[in-house]
């Protein structure tokens, strides 16, 4: 039993080491004006070189550990956001980038806006700004990695169920 616990401990340490050193990410725009997305692209360029932390952009949610979200959640994007999130393997982490992703920002109160990302899926790291500079995005990534090193439990496991968001009815007449 003790041996099992030891091996389980070593295995967990190994998994944490791998996770912290190669957080593969997918980027999703759920309604952003593209300002935040341009900053994320800048963060991925050699000038800011976020790959030094092992962060690599992936095309498929099935290969990603981290979902980087920008923009408020629109009525149209809500189901896509949930589908992408659900396709990611556990444990998964979400970074909300920009004021709109945090609260709806400049689009708050619009008929087609449901609010910030955490109105739909659990969020682990919030990066404020309109748009946040690459340094702020890198700071958010580093904070997530530091938390992972310390044995952080993802928000997804803390709140297992996705929050049901009532989709407002639109009166087109």
Residue of minimal Cβ distance to ligand SF4: 35
Q: Exactly one of 40, 44, 98, 152 binds ligand SF4 (CB under 6 A); which one?
A: 98
Binding mask 114-153 for ligand SF4 (x = CB under 6 A): ----------------xx----------------------
Examine residue 96 and tell whether it contacts ligand SF4 (CB under 6 A).
no
Angle made by CA atoms 46, 50, 51, in degrees to the nearest 5: 85
The structure tokens 């997804």 sit at: 156
In this complex, which beta carbon is closest to ligand SF4, that of residue 50 or of residue 73? 73
- CA 27, distance to chain mean position in Å, is 8
Examine residue 104 and tell whether it contacts ligand SF4 (CB under 6 A).
no
Examine residue 99 and tell whether it contacts ligand SF4 (CB under 6 A).
yes
Count of residues engaged in binding ligand SF4, rule: CB under 6 A:
13
CA 71 → CA 16, 31, 47, distances in Å?
30, 5, 24
Shortest distance, position 64 Cβ to ligand SF4, whole Å? 21
In this complex, which beta carbon is closest to ligand SF4, that of residue 117 or of residue 148? 117
Are 24 and 51 within 8 A, CB to CB? no
Q: Exactly one of 67, 93, 103, 105 binds ligand SF4 (CB under 6 A); which one?
A: 105
Q: Exactly one of 36, 88, 114, 127 binds ligand SF4 (CB under 6 A); which one?
A: 36
Residues in contact with ligand SF4 by CB under 6 A are: 32-33, 35-36, 70-71, 98-100, 105-106, 130-131
């Amino acid at each position: 039993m003790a041996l099992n616990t030891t091996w389980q401990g070593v295995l967990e340490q190994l998994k944490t080491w791998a996770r912290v050193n190669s957080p593969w990410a997918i980027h999703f725009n759920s309604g952003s004006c593209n300002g935040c997305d341009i900053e994320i692209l800048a963060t991925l360029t050699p000038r800011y070189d976020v790959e030094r932390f092992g962060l690599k952009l992936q095309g498929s949610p099935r290969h990603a550990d981290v979902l980087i979200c920008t923009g408020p959640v629109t009525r149209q994007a809500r189901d896509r956001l949930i589908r992408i999130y659900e396709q990611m393997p556990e444990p998964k982490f979400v970074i909300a980038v920009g004021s709109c992703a945090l609260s709806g920002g400049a689009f708050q109160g619009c008929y087609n806006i449901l609010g910030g990302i955490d109105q739909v899926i659990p969020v682990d790291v919030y990066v404020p700004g309109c748009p946040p500079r690459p340094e702020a995005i890198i700071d958010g990534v580093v904070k997530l990695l530091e938390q992972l090193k310390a044995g952080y439990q993802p928000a997804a496991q803390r709140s297992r169920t996705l929050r049901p968001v009532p989709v407002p009815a639109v009166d087109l007449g």
